[in-house]
């Protein structure tokens, strides 16, 4: 089944307001169809589905299919430092919840500038190395939400990591704040296979404007917007798995049908996606072109274009509990001034070729991303 992986964070629910109310019967049918079509990669994590995803994976997959039929990825949660004092106990809990005695892929979950410090403090990289040596984790890696520069640093310091999981989609590909392309190229430079998360950007790219759909359908009338998004990610050579959080059988059937083979996209397809991304960004709230003329003169070292890119992305994203934009914003403010640190000196507005009301827009950024 090509590169498609089944993400177990958006399984079908009986009650849309209850993340742990997974419709087991529906989910079992999806698992069976996925395996039937040759799919193997399942991805879970400690906190998905209100901390129930691992147990649900045991019910719908592990208890019902031979271990050698599938590969299972799980993650060490870095956001619960209180759990990291006893890594063996935490790992054992995860094995038991999933009902397995090893993971095929085991990742540090969500490495960014602050979680990296946590991982170092608790010896998490050494722990993963040990798990691999003991055969309890066949491949080790980390999921990552931060700049390409930090990714480069982590991969240089930890060549033992077998793979990385990155946020990649055609809308974030050139986003100043998220840096999908730069992160992908960094992984390629280090020779690391890539698992893609958020290929449809939390559903944003499944429901695009009529105009955007027309651009895409002119080339492939039978590809839905989400198939386009998945195929973009899957067409990248170094990508080994594209995780799709399929929430019903219909989505799964479409993906199984359309992602059997995913050759790299050709120039016409990439051009269509670029035009669509421009169009989606065209409706953006702050029409910053990321020329960076404003950056050097700012006495508060505010990452103006990055913040505007994240602000625009947040405005486009459907509202849900987790916000990747807020996370990237949180990373950036550790080494830059916050939007709310602006002292209204006006230097940036004097040089902005787009004549943007930067001071006011930074207030909007602060209101949206600092809470
Ligand atoms: S007005 Fe604010 S953002 Fe602009 S240069 Fe001054 S401190 Fe920086
Ligand atoms: S000068 Fe204006 S357009 Fe250029 S990066 Fe700054 S805010 Fe954006």
What residue owns the CA closest to ligand 1's atom 7? 342
Residue numbers of the domain that contains 331: 304-369
* Ligand 2 center–CA 179 separation, angstroms: 17
Any domain includes 288: no
Identify whether residues 266 and 315 lie together within a single domain.
no
Per-residue tens of pLDDT for the chain, all 371 residues: 689 999 998 898 998 778 889 999 999 999 999 999 999 999 999 988 889 999 999 999 999 999 999 999 999 999 888 889 999 999 999 999 999 999 999 999 999 988 999 999 999 999 999 999 999 999 999 999 889 999 999 999 999 999 999 999 998 898 888 899 999 999 999 999 999 998 998 777 888 888 999 999 999 999 999 999 999 999 999 999 999 888 889 989 998 988 888 889 999 999 999 999 988 877 678 877 777 889 989 999 999 999 998 998 888 776 667 788 999 999 999 999 999 999 999 998 987 777 789 999 999 999 999 98
Co-location of 316 and 270 in the same domain: no
3-class DSSP string for the chain: CCCEEEECCCCCECCCCCCCCECHHHHHHHHHHHHHCCCCEEECCCCHHHHCHHHHHHHHHHCCCCHHHCEEEEEEECCCHHHHHHHHHHHHHHHHHHCCCCEEEEEEEEECHHHHHHHHHCCHHHHHHHHHHCCCEEEEEEEECCCHHHHHHHHHHCCCCCEEEEECCCCCCCCCCCCHHHHHHHHHHCCCCEEEECCCHHHHHHCCCHHHHHHHHHHCCCCCHHHHHHHHHHCCCCEEEEEECCCCHHHHHHHHHHCCCCCCCCHHHHHHHHHHHHHHHHCCCCCCCCCCCCCCCCCCCECHHHHHHHHHHHHHCCCCCCCHHHHHHHHHCCCCECHHHCCCCCHHHHHCCCCCCHHHHHHHHHHHHCC
- Ligand lying nearest the CA atom of residue 286: 2
Q: Is the CB of 291 under 6 A from ligand 2?
A: yes
Q: 258 in a domain, yes or no?
A: yes
Residues 223 and 317 in one domain: no
For residue 291, being part of any structural domain is answered with no
Q: Note the pTM of the prediction, 2 decimals.
A: 0.83
Are residues 261 and 317 part of one domain?
no
Examine the domain organization and report whether 40 and 178 are in the same domain: yes
Ligand 1 contact, 348 CB (< 6 A): yes
In the chain, the number of structural domains is 2
Position 200 in a domain: yes
Judge whether 296 lies within some domain: no
Assess whether 254 and 322 both reside in one domain: no
Q: Ligand 2 atom closest to Cα of 291?
A: 4
319 and 245 co-located in one domain = no
Look up the CATH number of the domain holding residue 108. 3.20.20.100
Tell whether ligand 2 has an atom less than 6 A from the beta carbon of residue 290.
yes
Say if residue 71 is in the same domain as residue 183: yes
C-beta 347 within 6 A of ligand 1: yes
Asked if 199 and 329 sit in the same domain, the reply is: no
Same domain, 270 and 309: no
In a domain? residue 216: yes
């Amino acid at each position: 089944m090509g590169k498609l992986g089944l993400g177990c964070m958006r399984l079908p629910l009986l009650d849309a307001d209850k993340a742990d109310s997974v419709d087991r019967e529906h989910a079992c049918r999806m698992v069976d169809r996925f395996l039937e079509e040759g799919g193997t990669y399942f991805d879970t994590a400690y906190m998905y589905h209100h901390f129930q995803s691992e147990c649900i994976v045991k019910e719908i997959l592990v208890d019902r299919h031979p271990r050698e039929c599938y590969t299972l990825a799980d993650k060490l949660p870095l956001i619960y430092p209180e759990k990291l004092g006893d890594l063996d106990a935490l790992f054992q809990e995860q094995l038991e919840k999933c009902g397995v005695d090893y993971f095929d892929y085991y990742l540090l979950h969500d490495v960014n500038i602050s979680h990296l410090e946590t991982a170092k403090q608790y010896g998490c990289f050494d722990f993963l190395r040990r798990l691999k040596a003991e055969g309890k984790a066949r491949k080790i890696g980390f999921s990552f939400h931060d700049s390409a520069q930090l990714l480069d640093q982590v991969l240089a310091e930890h060549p033992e990591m077998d793979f990385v999981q990155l946020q990649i989609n055609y809308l974030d590909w050139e986003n100043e704040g998220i840096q999908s392309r730069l992160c992908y190229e960094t992984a390629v430079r280090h020779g690391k296979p890539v698992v893609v998360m958020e290929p449809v950007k939390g559903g944003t790219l499944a429901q695009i404007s009529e105009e955007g759909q027309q651009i895409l359908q002119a080339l492939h009338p039978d590809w839905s917007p989400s198939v386009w998004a998945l195929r973009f990610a899957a067409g990248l050579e170094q990508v080994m798995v594209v995780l799709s959080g399929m929430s019903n059988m219909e989505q799964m059937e479409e993906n199984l049908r359309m992602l059997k083979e995913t050759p790299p996209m050709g120039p016409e397809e990439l051009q269509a996606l670029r035009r669509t991304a421009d169009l989606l960004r065209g409706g953006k709230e702050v029409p910053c072109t990321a020329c960076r003329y404003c950056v050097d003169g700012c006495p508060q070292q505010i990452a103006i274009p990055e913040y505007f890119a994240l602000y625009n992305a947040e405005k486009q994203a459907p509202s849900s509990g987790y916000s990747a934009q807020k996370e990237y914003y949180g990373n950036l403010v550790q080494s830059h001034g916050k939007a709310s640190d602006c002292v209204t000196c006006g230097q940036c507005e004097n040089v902005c070729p787009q004549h943007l009301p930067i001071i006011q827009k930074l207030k909007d950024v602060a209101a949206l991303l600092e809470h």
